[in-house]
Structure 1
Amino acid sequence: MFQRNVGGIDRIARAVLGLAILSLVFVGPQTAWGWLGLIPLATAAIGYCPAYSPFGFRTCRS
Structure 2
Amino acid sequence: MTMIDNIGTVDRALRVAVGLGLIAASLFGLIGLWGWIGVVPLLTGTLKFCPLYRAVGITTND
In the superposition, the TM-score normalised over structure 1's length comes to: 0.87
Runs of 4+ in 1 over 3 A off after TM superposition: none
d(CA) in 2 for partners of 1:3, 1:25: 31
Aligned to 1:2: 3
Aligned to 2:33: 32
- 3-state SS, counterpart of residue 52 of structure 1: helix
Aligned to 1:20: 21
Contact residue 18 and residue 38 of structure 1 kept, 8 A: yes
- 3-state SS, counterpart of residue 2 of structure 1: coil
Give structure 2 stretches of 5+ with no counterpart: none
Please state if 1:58 is matched with 2:59. yes
Query: Aligned residues: percent identity?
Result: 32
* One-letter amino acid of the structure 1 residue matched with residue 33 of structure 2: A
Give structure 1 stretches of 5+ with no counterpart: none
**Structure with greater helix share of residues:** 2
Aligned to 2:44: 43
Contact residue 5 and residue 49 of structure 1 kept, 8 A: yes
Superposition CA RMSD, Å: 1.1
